[in-house]
């Protein structure tokens, strides 16, 4: 029964990743509540699975010619060291504190979708983009390693606010997800705890969900899907914060 519920939750998480770009972080509370993993193991295990969802998403975007590889490599370079650092800090944070951090990040992810942030025309053809891209990678990498969330949860809203094109932003975030999840996992192998048995059960259903989500995004109302995912993040984040209190 528990395995079936976890499989369904993993599929939904994968579908949200593929359809609207947010939702990966919801795997962490699913692993805590359904699989009964401690919060540190849940965040480390979730981050490990995002290596595989990132690889599939990158492949699907690359086939459509939707990835700016130069920008992706710069962002990924910024994420490498900082995702390792974030995962190391994760291992030092007490479980109740990490609970609150992850709950707040999940809730803020929902708020970010529902509240339209003002976009700033920071990026233009005359200015070098690499310092901004490195900074985005560093922030997203640290946040990914610290919380176990995928890098896109942090990189997408930052890049859109800075004025990067939406399609380019989403494509870059897929490559970033591989870099941040891989380096964060390296740190978790040294300092954290990954439940590979649970991950082996979760990953196939996540990947099927990602493939389904990409298809859904081409015929469904993406705005409604994003709003639905946002409300789910708000409810889940509030639940974790109240549970932790």
Q: What is the pLDDT of residues 162-219, one digit of tens each?
A: 878 777 887 888 899 999 999 999 999 999 889 999 999 999 999 999 888 877 766 7
Q: State the total domains in the chain.
A: 1
Q: Which residue has the higher pLDDT, 228 or 133?
A: 133
pLDDT at 124: 57
Burial class of residue 64 (count of CB atoms within 10 Å of its CB; 0-12, 13-18, 19+): exposed
In degrees, rounded to 5, the angle at the alpha carbon of residue 190 between the alpha carbons of residues 185 and 191 is: 95
Q: What is the pLDDT of residues 23-72, one digit of tens each?
A: 788 899 999 999 999 999 999 999 999 999 989 988 988 887 878 999 99
Full residue range of the structural domain in which residue 139 is found? 2-244
């Amino acid at each position: 029964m528990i395995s079936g519920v976890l499989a369904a939750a993993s599929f939904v998480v994968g579908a949200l990743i593929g359809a609207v770009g947010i939702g990966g972080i919801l795997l962490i509370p699913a692993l805590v509540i359904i699989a009964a993993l401690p919060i540190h193991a849940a965040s480390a295990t979730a981050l490990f699975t995002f290596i595989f969802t990132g690889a599939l998403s990158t492949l699907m975007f690359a086939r459509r010619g939707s990835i700016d590889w130069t920008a992706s490599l710069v962002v990924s370079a910024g994420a490498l060291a900082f995702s390792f650092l974030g995962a190391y800090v994760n291992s030092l944070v007490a479980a109740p504190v990490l609970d609150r951090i992850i709950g707040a990040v999940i809730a803020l992810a929902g708020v970010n979708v529902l509240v339209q942030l003002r976009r700033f025309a920071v990026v233009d053809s005359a200015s070098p983009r690499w310092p901004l891209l490195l900074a985005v990678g560093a922030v997203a990498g640290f946040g990914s390693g610290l919380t176990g969330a995928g890098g896109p949860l942090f990189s997408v809203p930052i890049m859109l606010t800075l004025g990067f094109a939406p399609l380019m932003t989403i494509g870059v975030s897929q490559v970033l997800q591989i870099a941040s999840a891989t380096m964060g996992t390296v740190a978790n192998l040294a300092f954290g705890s990954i439940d590979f048995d649970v991950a082996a059960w979760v990953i196939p259903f996540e990947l099927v969900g990602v493939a389904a989500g990409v298809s859904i995004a081409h015929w469904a109302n993406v705005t409604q899907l994003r709003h639905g995912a946002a409300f789910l993040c708000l409810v889940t984040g509030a639940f974790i914060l109240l549970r932790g209190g």
